[in-house]
Amino acid sequence: MNSRQQKLLGYCYDLLARRRYSIREMVTRLEARNHKSSDPCSEDELRQILEGLLKANLLNDRDYASFYLESQLRRKPVGPMKIKMQLRHRGIDEDIIKQVINAAQLDALQLARDLLGKKTRLYTAAQLRDRKVQARLLRLLAANGFAAATAGRALRETLIPFPSDAEEDCQSP
């Protein structure tokens, strides 16, 4: 391995010391760093660096996806659709995404309830009866990767103590 490759390999180690990277993220970073260099490495030399990182198991998309899923759910409850989109954006293969999400056995309904539980504390009971607030909460769930059916069910279950005005009108004699 020549000195140019060793410099780039050291750069990869520095990056990996701070956080995990998917293979595509590392390729992007490595190519950008190589492009800025006054004496860039060839494609074959870059491929050798990546193969070394893969052999040392420093880059592994399956491990990255599992770690990303766990860390994302620790920060904030999000739905499976958002996690899939984020992993696709990071260059993870569709098969790996499906395997990781299936292995995690996500309960989307419970995650949606958890997110709603945090947000409904910000509103009064009267505000939660308002259709506009309910629509805002549904949009929040949709933006966080929950299917419409899951979002609707979670909202209904969360707002049972706070029926909408229309339901109250139907129940009056």
Strand (E) or helix (H) holding 86: helix 80-89
pLDDT over 50 (residue 170): no
In percent, the amount of the chain with pLDDT more than 90 equals 73
Hey, what are 34's tokens? Answer: 């190589």
Mean pLDDT of the chain: 89
pLDDT over 80 (residue 46): yes
User: Residue 40: which pLDDT band, with cuts at 50, 70 and 90?
Assistant: confident
How far is Cα 162 from Cα 137, in angstroms, rounded to an integer?
14
What is the DSSP-derived secondary structure letter of residue 28?
H
How far is Cα 155 from Cα 148, in angstroms, rounded to an integer?
10
How far is Cα 33 from Cα 37, in angstroms, rounded to an integer?
7
Let me know if 140 is exposed, middle or buried by CB neighbors in 10 A (0-12, 13-18, 19+): middle
Mean local confidence (pLDDT), 96-102: 95
Q: Which residues contact 56 (CB under 8 A, 6 or more apart)?
A: none
The predicted structure's pLDDT at residue 93:
95
In percent, the amount of the chain with pLDDT more than 70 equals 92
pLDDT over 80 (residue 167): no
